[in-house]
Amino acid sequence: MRKIFVALMVLLLLTGTACAEKKSAWSPEMRIGLTSGVKRVELKVSAACVLIDTATGKRLSKIPAEKKFVIDAAKLKVDTVEVRPKEIRLQDLQTTIDGKKFFGGVRLNKVRDTLTVINLVPTEEYLRGVVAKEMMPSYPLEALKAQTVAARSFAMKNRSRHETEGFDLCATTHCQVYDGYAEFDAVNRAVEETRGRVLMFKNKIADANFHTDSGGMTENVADVWGTYAPYLVAVKELLTLGEPWTVKVTAKDFSAHMGEGFGEVKSFKLSPLTIGKDADDRSSSGRVKSMQIVGTKKTVKLTGADLRLKFSLPSTLFDIKLDGEAVIFEGYGRGHGVGMSQLGAKAYATDGWSYEKILAHYYRGAQLKKVY
Ligand SMILES: [Zn+2]
């Protein structure tokens, strides 16, 4: 009797461990668009794989580990194929695509006579790559954790943003920067210790935007993209004012950007900048909503975003002046200013704040929840 009991306990312990391992390793699979319009792609997998016809699930061929092979659009007989591991889990596979290593496998969509290359990657492995690119891996751990949760929330919220192109997210700043495989202990730890955690608002995953440096105060999402989210409101930085910047343009160059019939720049009509103070032409954080530019032949009205784009300004939180033959922009912050400031997160983490506290500061009223 006792023997049976012990054997049962051992069995329970074993299956319990196996289940826990399996559960902790899984995360939703993301399809990350890497390139499109290519004629061929060279692949190499870290473990034995199979080439599958996505539409039917049929195995087309076996792919040995560590051996380069080429898929040619012209020779491909089916619309979509994917490379998946034969025996191991997707999160344990790495695929080298045209010389660059990625987590997970790959899908190739045939579009006329070219290929769209899509990385099939579990969310947690994708985040290891994203966080390493979006934030300096040398930043304090709690800042990296806040960044991970923001990136995970953003990815899950914006999934299928590129559905018409056949994938979930792209790998550029349009979605989130993902440059494939990355191994940084601190980043891996940040991902593991926040596993499956996202920001939610009213039971929906929050659109956790982030940027480099708020310059002293973040921005209402409505003042940047015209959308509304109660958790994306302007909040003051408590520890850092961010880094000031200066951009100088010659008056001649500036005038040339004002369109035909403008003449030469004479003066500007814009309320002076005070961070955290609004005006008719400035948002509640002080960012430029719009301003008038007086020329010798006419006056033009431009938005802060227009000016940022035209002169590659780091942000729209600026003052402008005409100084002889030069137009000088003096401002603070880098990026759109919506949601978490990475520089701010670093300052708070250095000061001893937890990632939960950092997130609560930037995403007002959003709650942290574990979704897997
Ligand atoms: Zn995108």
| Average of per-residue pLDDT across 295-302 | 97
Question: What's the pLDDT score for residue 337?
Answer: 97
Distance 339 CA to ligand 1 centre (A): 18
Mark 237-260 as b/e (b = at least 16 C-beta within 10 Å). Answer: beebbbeebebebebeebbebbee
Instruction: State yes or no: pLDDT of 23 exceeds 60.
Output: no
Distance 32 CA to ligand 1 centre (A): 9
Distance 120 CA to ligand 1 centre (A): 16
Instruction: Answer whether 0.85 is exceeded by the pTM.
Output: yes
Distance 248 CA to ligand 1 centre (A): 31
Instruction: State yes or no: pLDDT of 10 exceeds 80.
Output: no
Distance 162 CA to ligand 1 centre (A): 7
Query: Which of 353, 352, 332 minimizes the C-alpha distance to 274?
Result: 332
Distance 276 CA to ligand 1 centre (A): 31
Distance 130 CA to ligand 1 centre (A): 13
Distance 134 CA to ligand 1 centre (A): 15
| pLDDT category of residue 339 using cuts at 50, 70 and 90 | very high
| Average of per-residue pLDDT across 248-264 | 96
Instruction: State yes or no: pLDDT of 145 exceeds 50.
Output: yes
Name all contacts of 180-185 with Cβ < 8 Å and 24+ positions apart: 180/97, 180/100, 180/101, 180/102, 180/103, 180/119, 180/129, 181/94, 181/101, 181/102, 181/103, 181/129, 182/128, 182/129, 182/132, 182/133, 183/128, 184/128, 184/132, 184/137
Distance 212 CA to ligand 1 centre (A): 18
Task: Quickly tell me which residue has 């790998």 as its tokens.
Answer: 171
Distance 173 CA to ligand 1 centre (A): 7
Summarised one tens digit per residue, pLDDT across range 147-206 is: 999 999 999 999 989 999 999 999 999 999 999 999 999 999 999 999 999 999 999 999
| Average of per-residue pLDDT across 117-135 | 97
Distance 177 CA to ligand 1 centre (A): 9
Comparing 17-21, 65-69, 79-83, 117-121, the range with the smallest average pLDDT is: 17-21
Question: What's the pLDDT score for residue 240?
Answer: 84
Distance 216 CA to ligand 1 centre (A): 28
% of the chain residues with pLDDT over 70: 94
Nearest 5°: phi and psi at 348? -65, -40
Distance 176 CA to ligand 1 centre (A): 7
Measured between alpha carbons, how far is 216 from 84 in angstroms, rounded to an integer?
Answer: 47
Distance 172 CA to ligand 1 centre (A): 6
Distance 167 CA to ligand 1 centre (A): 10
Instruction: State yes or no: pLDDT of 317 exceeds 60.
Output: yes
Tokens of 212: 């480099």
Summarised one tens digit per residue, pLDDT across range 225-238 is: 999 999 999 999 99
Distance 33 CA to ligand 1 centre (A): 8
Q: Does residue 243 or residue 209 have the better pLDDT?
A: 209
Distance 109 CA to ligand 1 centre (A): 17
Question: What's the pLDDT score for residue 111?
Answer: 94
Question: What's the pLDDT score for residue 19?
Answer: 42
| Average of per-residue pLDDT across 319-332 | 97
Instruction: State yes or no: pLDDT of 21 exceeds 80.
Output: no
Element at 295 (helix H, strand E):
strand 290-295
Instruction: State yes or no: pLDDT of 7 exceeds 90.
Output: no
Instruction: State yes or no: pLDDT of 361 exceeds 90.
Output: yes
| Average of per-residue pLDDT across 5-31 | 57
Comparing 13-22, 80-89, 214-223, the range with the smallest average pLDDT is: 13-22
Instruction: State yes or no: pLDDT of 31 exceeds 50.
Output: yes
Element at 304 (helix H, strand E):
helix 304-310
Distance 239 CA to ligand 1 centre (A): 32
Distance 282 CA to ligand 1 centre (A): 29
Distance 158 CA to ligand 1 centre (A): 9
Measured between alpha carbons, how far is 171 from 209 in angstroms, rounded to an integer?
Answer: 16
Question: What's the pLDDT score for residue 20?
Answer: 41
% of the chain residues with pLDDT over 90: 91
| Average of per-residue pLDDT across 131-144 | 97
C-alpha angle 132-137-141 in degrees, rounded to nearest 5: 115
Question: What's the pLDDT score for residue 241?
Answer: 81
Residue type, 297: K
Summarised one tens digit per residue, pLDDT across range 63-92 is: 999 999 999 999 999 999 999 999 999 999
Distance 152 CA to ligand 1 centre (A): 15
Distance 232 CA to ligand 1 centre (A): 20
Distance 179 CA to ligand 1 centre (A): 14
Question: What's the pLDDT score for residue 242?
Answer: 82
Average pLDDT of the chain is 93
Query: Which of 293, 252, 286, 260 minimizes the C-alpha distance to 272?
Result: 286
Distance 75 CA to ligand 1 centre (A): 29
Question: What's the pLDDT score for residue 160?
Answer: 85
